[in-house]
């Protein structure tokens, strides 16, 4: 009986220990980056291009910020309507349960495919076969493939969660499906759909592997041209570390990337709260 109590105490202690690791680890990582990176960040770091010799050892990250934004913009332009449209088809029009499950399984598989394989595909298909070259367009299309399944899955779950009483009541009034989808269904679910979009964008902004050989180069002066390559935040951080150019600049870039994602998430959360009331 005594050994049983001892086991129980050790077990409770170990579980608490694991829980504390889970609590402390994320704050430690973010705090570490904050501690080392905060003195690098200034207005000129945000709004200047990389300078110095070797290039990137001083100056800022503006072209990388701009490139990441442009890539996400192009990606969302495709993934947002396609993802929400696909979710509407699954939730509203597809009645065959077997097809529905199969489609869901395929989409979930898409979300599970490692992003470097989308990079591989994008390189072979968009960059080489369709001869887009290493460009903003090719990278945006690859990011659309990364974001599409995430947006579709979260939107589909949001749409399915709407109680069927709403649907029955609406159709009983003789309203057609378009009106029902646009005026009621999407208005009731947009907050959850937005949360999914935020998740997808956060994932896409931070991943370097899909754009590594489809969109990004070590340096561009910036600008928006679909057929030119761009700099991105994650690949910029990778090059800074891999070529050992400047760890200070790398701390700053990593911190901007993490804080940017953080602020983006908080902003979306506030937007949802604010518009709900």
Partner 1 sequence: MKMVFLKSKNRFGNQSLRDRLFLSLSFFSLSLGLLMLVLTVAFLLKETGFPFSRVFRFDLIFSPGWSPLADPPDYRLGHAWISSFYITGIGLLISIPIGFGIGVFSAELAPPLIRKILQPALELLAGIPAVVYGFFGYVTLVRLFEHFFALSTGETVLAAGIILGVMMLPFIASTSAEAFRSSFAIYRESVLSLGVNQWTLLSKIVWVHAFPGLLAAVALGFARGIGETLAVLMLSGNSVAVPQSILDRAQPVTALLATELGETMVHSPKYQALFSAGFILLIMVLIVNFGILLLKKKLFSRFFTS
Q: Using the rule CB under 8 A, is 163 a contact of partner 1?
A: no
Could you tell me the sign of the dihedral formed by the alpha carbons of 17, 23, 24, 28, in that order?
positive
Q: Using the rule CB under 8 A, is 107 a contact of partner 1?
A: yes
How many Å apart are CA 44 and CA 252, to the nearest integer?
A: 12
Closer Cβ to partner 1, 27 or 224, answer by number: 27
Cα 46 from chain centroid? 21
Q: Cα–Cα–Cα angle for 22, 26, 29, nearest 5°?
A: 135
Q: Which stretch binds partner 1 (CB under 8 A): 41-49, 50-58, 124-132, 218-226?
A: 124-132
Gap between the terminal Cα atoms of the chain: 56
Closer Cβ to partner 1, 25 or 226, answer by number: 25
- Which residue of 61, 64, 71, 88 would you call a contact of partner 1, by CB under 8 A? 88
DSSP structural state of residue 91: I
Residues numbered 47 to 66 that lie near partner 1 (CB under 8 A) are: none
How many Å apart are CA 208 and CA 223, to the nearest integer?
A: 20
> Which residues partner with 51 through β-bridges?
58
- Which residue of 74, 75, 123, 132 would you call a contact of partner 1, by CB under 8 A? 123
259 near 276, Cβ under 8 Å? no
Closer Cβ to partner 1, 168 or 277, answer by number: 168
Per-residue x/- mask for partner 1, residues 239 to 268, rule CB under 8 A?
A: --xx----x--xx--x--xx--xx--x---
CB of 35 to partner 1, least distance (A): 11
Cα 182 from chain centroid? 26
CB of 274 to partner 1, least distance (A): 19
Closer Cβ to partner 1, 46 or 94, answer by number: 94
Closer Cβ to partner 1, 139 or 234, answer by number: 234
Per-residue x/- mask for partner 1, residues 12 to 41, rule CB under 8 A?
A: x-xxxxxx-xxx-xxx-xx-xx--x-----
Task: Give, to the nearest 10 degrees, the angle between helix 247-276 and helix 186-206.
Answer: 180
Closer Cβ to partner 1, 17 or 224, answer by number: 17
Q: Which stretch binds partner 1 (CB under 8 A): 46-54, 59-67, 143-151, 222-230?
A: 143-151
Q: Using the rule CB under 8 A, is 227 a contact of partner 1?
A: no
Residues numbered 64 to 83 that lie near partner 1 (CB under 8 A) are: 81-83
Q: Cα–Cα–Cα angle for 129, 224, 119, nearest 5°?
A: 35
Residue 89: CB atoms within 10 A of its CB come to 14
CB of 3 to partner 1, least distance (A): 11
Cα 52 from chain centroid? 31
How many Å apart are CA 124 and CA 141, to the nearest integer?
A: 13
Q: CA dist 193 to 71, 77, 188, Å?
A: 21, 15, 10
Q: Using the rule CB under 8 A, is 5 a contact of partner 1?
A: yes
Residues numbered 177 to 216 that lie near partner 1 (CB under 8 A) are: 177-178, 181, 202, 205-209, 212-213
């Amino acid at each position: 009986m005594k050994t049983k109590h001892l086991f129980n105490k050790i077990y409770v202690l170990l579980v608490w220990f694991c829980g504390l690791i889970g609590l402390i680890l994320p704050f430690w990582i973010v705090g570490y980056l904050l501690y080392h990176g905060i003195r690098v960040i200034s207005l000129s770091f945000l709004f200047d291009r990389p300078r110095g010799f070797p290039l990137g050892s001083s100056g800022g990250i503006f072209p990388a910020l701009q490139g990441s934004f442009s890539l996400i913009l192009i990606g969302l332009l495709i993934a947002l309507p396609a993802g929400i449209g696909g979710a509407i088809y699954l939730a509203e029009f597809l009645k065959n349960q077997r097809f529905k499950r199969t489609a869901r399984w395929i989409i979930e598989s898409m979300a599970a495919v490692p992003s470097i394989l989308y990079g591989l595909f994008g390189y072979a298909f968009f960059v080489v076969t369709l001869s887009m070259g290493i460009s903003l367009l090719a990278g945006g299309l690859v990011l659309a493939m990364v974001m599409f399944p995430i947006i579709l899955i979260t939107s589909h779950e949001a749409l399915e969660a709407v109680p069927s009483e709403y649907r029955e009541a609406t159709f009983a009034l003789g309203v057609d499906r378009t009106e029902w989808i646009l005026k009621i269904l999407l208005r009731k679910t947009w907050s959850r759909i937005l949360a999914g979009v935020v998740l997808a964008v956060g994932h896409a902004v931070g991943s370097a592997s899909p754009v590594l050989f489809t969109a990004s180069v070590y340096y561009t002066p910036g600008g928006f041209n679909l057929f030119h390559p761009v700099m991105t935040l994650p690949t910029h951080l990778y090059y800074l570390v891999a070529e050992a150019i400047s760890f200070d600049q790398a701390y700053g870039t990593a911190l901007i990337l993490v804080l940017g994602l953080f602020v983006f998430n908080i902003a979306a959360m506030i937007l949802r709260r604010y518009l709900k009331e």
